[in-house]
């Protein structure tokens, strides 16, 4: 028995196949049969796309956390600068004597 060559599917094809699963009345078996793939392939693609979405969400969350930390550092530095400027612009007689 000769083995058929392995078929390769584009990411776009996989995404469209998985999207068809959300259509009313569509089952994994029926969509797989229409596309000429096995239900297990379709399930694998669905899980693969879900994991990719989760990984992207994690990367986005990490990037936002880094940005938030940078903004907090900058905010703290600017508050310190404002405090220095406020003290520098105060009238000389209003400064408390240094003990």
Average pLDDT over every residue of 37-64: 89
Measure the CA–CA gap between 33 and 57, rounded to whole angstroms: 32
Specify if 76 maps to a domain. yes
DSSP-H helix ranges across the chain: 11-20, 28-35, 39-88
Specify if 84 maps to a domain. yes
Residue 72 in tokens: 């907090």
Per-residue pLDDT, 80: 97
Percent of the chain surpassing pLDDT 70: 91
Per-residue pLDDT, 81: 96
Specify if 54 maps to a domain. yes
Burial 24-57 (b: 16+ CB within 10 A, else e): eeeebeebbeeeebeeebbeebbeebeeeeeeee
Over residues 78-88, the pLDDT tens digits come to 999 999 999 99
Measure the CA–CA gap between 16 and 34, rounded to whole angstroms: 13
Q: Considering the entire predicted model, what is its pTM?
A: 0.55
| CATH number assigned to the domain comprising residue 27 | 1.10.10
Average pLDDT over every residue of 47-60: 85
């Amino acid at each position: 028995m000769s083995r058929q060559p392995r078929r390769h599917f584009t990411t776009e094809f996989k995404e469209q196949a998985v999207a068809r699963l959300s259509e009313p009345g569509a089952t994994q078996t029926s969509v797989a049969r229409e596309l000429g793939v096995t239900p297990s392939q379709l399930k694998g693609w669905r899980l693969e796309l879900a994991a990719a979405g989760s990984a992207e969400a994690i990367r986005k969350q990490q990037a936002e956390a880094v940005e938030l930390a940078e903004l907090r550092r900058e905010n703290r530095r600017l508050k310190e600068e404002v405090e220095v400027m406020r003290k520098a612009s105060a009238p000389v007689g209003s400064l408390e004597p240094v003990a």
